[in-house]
């Protein structure tokens, strides 16, 4: 798991203290993995309001950013389309000869 705090307009809560408190609550049975976590605990603090979520596939789904997910999909599809166009062009050239 990983803990990702976002603290805005609040000077009373310290980032590292928040992370260590949540890690202590999660317990030692779970392993911290910042590179490829199974679950991500997002803590959003704005002024005196706190929201918390536990998310899966956070890295694979590009931090749940829809625009980034579709950008990657389009980039992966472009080479396939170019290959198909190149193959069609080669077939047309061969049929003309």
Give the count of domains, the chain: 1
Q: What is the pLDDT of residues 32-51, one digit of tens each?
A: 999 889 999 999 999 999 99
Query: In whole angstroms, what is the distance from residue 87 CA to residue 97 CA?
Result: 16
Query: In whole angstroms, what is the distance from residue 14 CA to residue 43 CA?
Result: 12
Q: What is the pLDDT of residues 48-88, one digit of tens each?
A: 999 999 999 888 777 777 777 677 667 776 665 555 555 56
Residues in the chain: 97
Which CATH number characterizes residue 65's domain?
3.30.2300
Cα Rg, the chain, nearest whole Å: 23
Q: For residue 82, what are the domain limits?
A: 2-96
* DSSP β-bridge partners for residue 46: 8, 49
Q: Name all contacts of 25-31 with Cβ < 8 Å and 24+ positions apart.
A: 26/1, 30/1, 31/1
Q: What is the pLDDT of residues 12-28, one digit of tens each?
A: 999 999 999 999 999 88
Q: Is the pLDDT at 96 greater than 60, yes or no? A: no
């Amino acid at each position: 798991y990983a803990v990702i705090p976002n603290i805005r307009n609040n000077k009373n809560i310290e980032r590292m203290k928040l992370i260590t408190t949540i890690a202590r609550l999660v317990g030692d049975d779970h392993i911290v993995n910042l590179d490829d976590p199974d679950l991500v605990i997002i803590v959003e603090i704005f002024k005196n309001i706190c929201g918390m979520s536990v998310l899966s596939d956070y890295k694979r789904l590009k931090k749940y950013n829809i625009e980034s997910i579709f950008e990657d999909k389009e980039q992966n599809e472009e080479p396939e389309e170019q290959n198909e166009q190149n193959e069609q062009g080669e077939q047309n050239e061969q049929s003309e000869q």
